[in-house]
Structure 1
């Protein structure tokens, strides 16, 4: 662990935390949450076990950070990739295929989201903020489309945003239960249903 000491394992820098989060994501994806150990994660990150605990108090806190980091990364990718309704369904298909390469992370996200429904859960505030932010930003995007007569006239932007999250999360839960199930097709159909006159495919 000489390298870890040379790096300064107790230096609380964003770069060091990012290394730990990347190592934890790999460990959770390969071993599952239950079998992944903090010592393995520390070794992957090139620091001591004590050094890791200086940044994260326990495995639950680290899991929440891994999933939050993935959320932020994918949200930024979505903002860059989706500039019109025609790009929404293809992007979601790509995102789902990416998630399916790491089914354990999908399962962990679903489990944490359910556990965080309890007001006293450490991740409760994060998930509330996450969904509120997502609904607001998606509703704003759908509202822009509605102004150009692209969104179905009988669906409000606010409802479209809520339905979007419900469909995407619900389909991923079904896939975790049955990994033979095609969920890309239903997502594409859902996007098509949101827009009038087939405009999502224009």
Structure 2
């Protein structure tokens, strides 16, 4: 993860990855059939980590938007994962990049989840009927990704959680619910 994050996919070598993992190159290839397979494994691990933090079910409606703010806050504690995501997402737009399909699917999936959450909130009467959920979802994703790049370049200059919350609240025209306290009965 660290090698891909600091060097990018093209410049990361299997030899360096093997050395950092305490394996031989053949040992790495035993577990992953290729460098592209290793990259996919790293990206899958990142997703599994994020999904496990959600628990058994994703928060609904505005609670999911609050979850995004909390994700931005948690990301300040995992610079390597944030760097990996930012580097590989940008690289994936190049021709033939092995993570292209992954990121295309990831953005499609994120937009769909956000649209669902916004429509759930609208169905509960928490949002205006004329809110364009698809555009709003794209803007939220773009802001969060852009904030990550700014934070990586100059960490002290950006409060990702506060900027994410401010953007979401301005887009939806209302304050987000407070974060549930750990151990409270309502954590959805």
Q: TM-score range by the shorter chain?
A: 0.7 to 0.9
- Match of 1:190? 167
- Match of 2:88? 112
Q: 1:92 to 1:149 in 2, by over 3 A?
A: same
Please tell me whether the aligned partners of residues 42 and 49 of structure 1 are also in contact (alpha carbons under 8 angstroms): no
- Match of 2:142? 166
Is the aligned partner of 1:85 residue 2:66?
Answer: no
Structure 2: gaps of 5 or more residues: 179-188
Shift of 1:95: 2.2
- Match of 1:127? 103
Please tell me whether the aligned partners of residues 91 and 97 of structure 2 are also in contact (alpha carbons under 8 angstroms): yes
Task: Find the aligned partners of 1:76 and 1:143 in 2 and give their Cα distance.
Answer: 24
Task: Find the aligned partners of 1:161 and 1:78 in 2 and give their Cα distance.
Answer: 19
Q: 1:157 to 1:194 in 2, by over 3 A?
A: same
Q: 1:62 to 1:100 in 2, by over 3 A?
A: farther
Please tell me whether the aligned partners of residues 152 and 194 of structure 1 are also in contact (alpha carbons under 8 angstroms): no
Question: Following superposition of structure 1 onto structure 2, how do residues 38-187 of structure 1 map, counting pairs within 5 Å?
Answer: 38-43=17-22, 48-57=24-33, 59=35, 61-78=37-54, 80=57, 82-86=59-63, 88-89=65-66, 91-180=67-156, 181-187=158-164
Task: Find the aligned partners of 2:94 and 2:3 in 1 and give their Cα distance.
Answer: 23
String of CA shifts for 1:70-99, please: whole Å, max 9, x gaps.
12331453464634414633x334323332
Q: 1:83 to 1:140 in 2, by over 3 A?
A: closer
Pick 1 or 2: higher relative contact order, CA cutoff 8 A, min separation 6.
2
Please tell me whether the aligned partners of residues 38 and 59 of structure 1 are also in contact (alpha carbons under 8 angstroms): no
TM-score by length of 1: 0.69
